[in-house]
Amino acid sequence: MRIGMFFREALRSIRANAAISVAATVTALIAVFILGAFIPSFMYVRSAVDAQTAKVDVDVYIADTATVPQVNALREKLDGLRTDGTVAAVTYVSKDDALRIMKERLRDPSVLDELPSNPLPAKFNVQPTEAENADVIVAAVTNDPALDPTEGIVYPESTADRLLTAAKFVQWAGFVLIGILLLAAVLLIGNTIRLSIFARRREVEVMRLVGATNWFIRWPFMIEGVICGLVGAVVAVGMLWGIKVGVVDAWAAGADTALTKTGSAAGTIAFPLLTVVLVGAGALLGAVGSGITLRRFLKV
Amino acid sequence: MSDGPDSGRPTFTLVEVPDTTPVDPDMAPMFSAPVQDGKRRKGDIFRPGPGPMVEFRNVVKTYDGNSRGLDGVSLGIGTGEFVFLVGPSGSGKSTFIRLIIRELRPTSGSVTVGGRDLGELRRSKVPYLRRAIGCVFQDFRLLPDRTAAENVAYALQVTGHSQKEVRRRVPEILSLVGLDDKFDRLPRELSGGEQQRVSIARALVNHPRLLIADEPTGNLDPETSLGIMDLLLRINRTGTTVLVATHDQHTVDRMQMRVIALEAGRVVRDEESAGYHEDTGEVLA
């Protein structure tokens, strides 16, 4: 019964202060829209970085002079790393395979025919389970007698480190940006609620006069804030949906072949989940925004 | 203009006054006077007891700087009394009233209402104090976007009454103050006197033990004022303590009730059955 009354009071207030309510709703709309555009982009970047870091594999080159027992010993060492979980997969690439791969890469493979012999060493391609495990693998096989003296161990140490740093940076920058956006939205909605309270100062005065408790006065304002936040969020989600279907999906379809060729596993948040998150954020923005303002402006 | 009050004049003079409210001899059951029946209602913060409804002890209220609202006021208002608070602007009438509803706190001294020392009343209890006191103001203080019925209903909703009870009590109280056919009018569609009746209905709907009216007739013509004063008097007869701050000389002279006169924050006169001015026998301009 009381909740129904608070809702009626909130709706009455929204009608009475239509201009201010529209301002609050538009504020929430903008904040939620930016948030809604940012979250998937942020998730995409993170997932792309994850996909890159997952690709840091270690190449262990084998000397042409290495004996069969030496090569077998090296293979056993790497298999041992696989059983303890540091390595995901070990692939042997023979000299011939290496040459074939090289030929595929070159635009004019005929240059290789000029070579008197195959200069490429055989190798083990080792995929670590985690990017950080590369160091362990390198430590384990350094000084192995089967190693090729010139090529040795090749792994994208610097690339991996840079990617990890970039991933962490993207993550933190994302959190900070989202934080700033939310704070701005809360302050804007709070300001709008303050205007609403100001416009109804006399009413609040009368409410106090007839003995309304602080919470009795606050609830309609809180609900008013939440309604504005929700409506703004729903409109923002609608706009984002339009952009997703009309622009992003169409672009992704066109770029699809290029993407699959590079083997990118990058994905992003599912739209229904995003909708839930954004609508929740809108409601929360409204509640927190009005709550903070009410704390400051409704002291008896 | 007015002749000095005839000191022997009984309060019944009201009978001669043109009454715009329908006479309702059964008004009394509408307003309970819980101090008398000894029962405490739920959420009631007044302490039952035989003491005065309002008691000021050496109350001083100083505003920022040196301006003094009240300068050492001590007095009591008994339960069921009808009291006029008179004095020129700035004499401290408003301060007196705002101290009772705890809109202000005294600089020193104590204010007790319904047995509760307001200095010890927690802030969270202030709304409950205000529910036990009905307030009527010169500017009516109605919510402009609500009808007469909705304005009265608001005071009931605040105190947590059910919708059913609101629907029952609001028409009752509005009829009682003589607004039978004006339930759905907005304040701007009502005359000043009618607006003041709505405001009185709102003040009464929670059965306050104390009704405070700050210049209730300040914006009304003399005839309408008499109707309002008559309504206040009838409310008083049901056991509700009524305190009226006014500078409406005619009304005070006519009604011959207890008069407390303030001047520069001090009580300069406190007299039973008196007029607006001290009865010195001189003819007043």
ipTM of the complex: 0.72
The pLDDT of A105-123, averaged and rounded, is: 77
Sign, Cα dihedral of B81, B203, B56, B66: negative
Name every residue whose Cβ is closer than 8 Å to that of residue A183 and which is 6 or more positions away in sequence. none
Q: A285 and A182 in one domain?
A: yes
Check CB contact of B202 with chain A, cutoff 8 Å.
yes
DSSP secondary structure string for all residues of B199-220: HHHHHHTT--SEEEEESTTTTS
Q: In the predicted model, what is the mean pLDDT of chain A?
A: 79
Spatial CA neighbour of A2 closest among B144, B166, B201: B166
Each residue's pLDDT tens digit, A129-183: 776 777 777 777 777 777 777 777 776 655 556 667 777 787 788 788 878 877 8
**CB within 8 Å: B141 and A206:** yes
Which of A127, A155, A183 is where one domain is finished?
A: A155
* Band (A53; pLDDT cuts 50, 70, 90): low
Q: Identify whether residues A292 and A182 lie together within a single domain.
A: yes
pLDDT band at A220 (very low <50, low <70, confident <90, very high): confident
User: Domain check: are A175 and A293 in the same one?
Assistant: yes
One domain for residues A137 and A181: no
In this prediction, residues B196-204 reach a mean pLDDT of 93
Q: In the prediction, which pLDDT does A255 show?
A: 57
Task: Give A282 to chain B, closest Cα distance, Å.
Answer: 29
A166 with A291, same domain: the answer is yes
Structure confidence by residue, pLDDT tens digits, A193-213: 787 778 778 778 888 888 888
For residues A36 and A78, state if they share a domain. Answer: no
Question: Residue A74: its pLDDT value, please?
Answer: 82
Whether the pLDDT of residue B60 is over 50: the answer is yes
Topology of the domain covering B52-274: Rossmann fold (3.40.50)
A214 and B163 within 8 Å at the Cβ level: the answer is no
Contacts of A12 in chain B (CB under 8 A): 145
Give yes or no for residue B153 having a pLDDT over 80: yes
Task: Single out the residue of B206, B196, B56, B59 nearest to residue B127, CA to CA.
Answer: B206
CATH of the domain at A137: 3.30.70.3040
Domain boundary among A128, A155, A182: A155
Burial class of residue B7 (count of CB atoms within 10 Å of its CB; 0-12, 13-18, 19+): exposed
Which residue type occupies B239?
Answer: G
From chain A, the residues in CB contact with B154 under 8 A are: 206-207, 210
Which are the contacts of B185, defined by CB distance < 8 A and separation ≥ 6? B147, B148, B194
Percent of chain B with pLDDT over 90: 43
Mean pLDDT value across chain B: 81
**Is B155 in CB contact (< 8 Å) with chain A?**
yes
CB contact under 8 A, A211 and B158: yes
Residues A79 and A14 in one domain: no
| pLDDT above 60: residue B104 | yes
A8 interaction partners in chain B (CB closer than 8 Å): none
**One domain for residues A186 and A281:** yes
Among A119, A137, A155, the domain boundary falls at A155
For chain B, which residues make up each domain, given as ranges? 52-274
A196: closest CA of chain B, how far (Å): 15
B127 to chain A: which residues are within 8 Å by CB? 208, 211-214, 216, 300
Q: What is the pLDDT of residues B220-247, one digit of tens each?
A: 888 888 888 999 999 999 889 999 999 8
**For the ranges A86-90, A148-152, B213-217, B230-234, which has the lowest average pLDDT?**
A148-152
Predicted confidence (pLDDT) per residue in A265-285, tens digit = 456 778 888 899 999 989 988
In this predicted model, what pLDDT tens digit does every residue of A224-260 receive, in sequence order?
Answer: 889 989 999 999 999 999 988 888 777 766 654 444 3
Total domains in the fold of chain A: 2
- Between B26 and A138, the higher pLDDT residue: A138
Retrieve residue A272's tokens. 């229904």
Mean pLDDT calculated for residue range B74-95: 92
Are residues A82 and A192 part of one domain?
Answer: no
* Integer Cα distance of B99 and B6 in angstroms: 33
Q: Check whether B8 has a pLDDT greater than 70.
A: no
Domain with A93 in it = 57-155
Q: What is the pLDDT of residue B15?
A: 34
Residue A204 shares a structural domain with residue A222: yes
Check CB contact of B138 with chain A, cutoff 8 Å: no
Same domain, A45 and A95: no
Kindly indicate the confidence band of residue B102, based on its pLDDT and cuts at 50, 70 and 90: very high
Q: Report which DSSP code applies to A60.
A: E
